[in-house]
Amino acid sequence: MLVALSEDQEFFRQTTERFLVQFAPPDALRALRDDPVGFDPAYWRQGAELGWTSLLVAEEFGGGTISGPGLVDLGLVAYEFGRHAAPGPLVATNVVASALSAHGSHPGVLAGLVDGSEIATWPIPAFGPRLGEWRTGVELRRDGDGVVLRGSVRPVESAAQAGHFLVSAHDADGDGSRLTQALVPASASGVSVTPLETVDLTRRFGAVAFDDVRLGPDALVGTPGEAAVDVARQFQVALVMLDAEAVGAMQAGFDMTVEYSFDRYTFGRPLASYQALKHRFADMMAWLEGSHAISDASCIAAAAEDEHAGELLSAAKAYIGQYGADLLQDCVQIHGGIGVTFEHDLHLFLRRFTANRSLAGTPAVHRQHIASYIEAREEAAA
């Protein structure tokens, strides 16, 4: 989270924190374990009233920011979501809302996303073989004035709860590298959702299949065949939130473990007094501070639409994904047997982090993507 927040940003963060403490305590998260939705719709609408869903939406569509760069403000919400393992489709809803707002598309759906009455989601594509290219399991072809979608995607957050899917599809009328985006109603003929199991207690994922789904031309979002730039921006927005959530989960697990190490006595001494654990905590603190720094830096770069934002976000995803996993596993080990029980709160943050680590690319995938940036620079310089 940003080292120096403005007064308005700090008030906004504290408001979100207080709300989550009251409405998303650990016991409530455990109770949602078998809930098919994973969150209370009334809770989500209240969060929308606080501004969770409108920070990337233009004022003319009911949006607005706290500090100017809405993505930075949204990063504060995502950080608190991770620090409380909070329920709700924060990433999915904001990505779709930002895309619809950017194109002034589907104002009715956008209004529902802003006020929390609608849920929409974006099946996240994967990196393609070259920079600027994307892989997706859906193909789009033209059919008269309309389009037809065929294929499948997984995992998709809130797939069974979403009223619409923002689908990034390969345009069959192009050379295979062109992308077109369409907003697909979940009720459209040919759309089916298969629930998937997940380690996260509150977030739900599914596999979505599109079996010759026919849509009118009004379903398209943006210019047909030219959605690669939009997809890249949406991917950056998703990475900012996933990284901020992951760092929030790391912070919660670390704080919990430090407190435990001072309260837990062995042989008449607190755990924190043992030299071996002091060294371990020093490593954990270094990983945590590094994760804060790279998450903040990449968030600011993405908010400013810096040309190096994509590379920096991949560096952040790789670093946080590697060292955050080490940190939270150490937290479990230091807690001992109680750390692996369902009744203890620590696993809530390990679960949230583990899910975020794999979404939108694992650390290994992002390290490979960084190598692609380096290779591209070397080729350009040659």
Q: How far apart (Å, rounded) are the C-alpha atoms in residues 33 and 258? A: 27
pLDDT for residue 201: 93
Residue ranges of the domains in the chain? 7-119, 126-224, 229-381
Q: Report the pLDDT averaged over residues 362-377.
A: 95
Query: What pLDDT, on a 0 to 100 scale, did the predictor assign at position 256?
Result: 96
The fraction of the chain above a pLDDT of 70, given in percent, is 98
Tell me which long-range contacts 8-15 makes (C-beta under 8 A, separation of at least 24): 8/66, 8/67, 9/66, 9/67, 9/72, 9/73, 9/76, 12/51, 12/66, 12/73, 12/76, 13/76, 13/77, 13/79, 13/80, 15/50
CATH number of 229-381: 1.20.140.10
What is the residue-averaged pLDDT of the chain?
A: 94
Distance of CA 81 to the CA centre of its chain: 10
Strands (E), 16-137: 120-121, 126-127, 134-135
- CATH H superfamily, domain 126-224: Butyryl-CoA Dehydrogenase, subunit A, domain 2 (2.40.110.10)
Whether 174 shows a pLDDT value over 70: the answer reads no
Q: Is 7-119 assigned to CATH 3.30.750.24?
A: no
Contact yes or no for 262/335 (Cβ under 8 A): no
pLDDT tens digit sequence for 215-254? 999 999 999 999 999 999 999 999 999 999 999 999 999 9
Q: Which of 233, 283, 202 is nearest to 24 (CA)?
A: 202
